Amino acid sequence: MHIIKHAFVGAVAAAAILVSGTMAGKAAGALAIGSCAAYGTSYDFAATREAELAALRKCSGTCKVVATVRHGCAAFAIDGRHACGPHGYASAPELGRAQNAALRYCYRYGGHDCVVRAWACDGGG
């Protein structure tokens, strides 16, 4: 019984290491934005550059990467009445903080009815 208990504990420890290693290996994400509320997001990539390219591919029109995340979140907010107008974006360790910061920037740059348009989290975000 004692040997079985140690074998079980060892198996659980090995599984935890395997899962954490897998998650750590895929912990890059990105947010790309373009004109008139266009956006692209990505997450679960092994490298930041891969995440950036994936976000750009998902964004329609001429877009640029505005945030990359590793074990965090990024958010994009627009003025809901004027999608081509004021906007804001931010990244933070937690989703709520990224969304709140993106909304603050949207209002700071002249938005009146700002809403979160997109967000992406990766890893521990």
pLDDT of the chain, 125 residues: tens digit per residue: 444 443 333 333 333 333 333 344 578 999 999 999 999 999 999 999 999 999 999 999 999 999 999 989 999 999 999 999 999 999 999 999 999 999 999 999 999 999 999 999 987 65
Q: What's the pLDDT at 6?
A: 39
What is the token pair recorded at 28?
Answer: 């890059």
Distance (Å, rounded) from C-alpha 22 to C-alpha 92? 22
Region for 79 from its dihedrals, namely left if φ exceeds 0, alpha if ψ lies in -120 to 50, beta otherwise: beta
Q: What's the pLDDT at 25?
A: 58
Q: What's the pLDDT at 26?
A: 73
Q: What's the pLDDT at 122?
A: 87
- List phi, psi (to 5°) of 123: 60, -125
Distance (Å, rounded) from C-alpha 1 to C-alpha 19? 27
Determine if the pTM surpasses 0.95: no
Burial 84-99 (b: 16+ CB within 10 A, else e): ebbbbbbbbeebebbb
Q: What's the pLDDT at 13?
A: 37
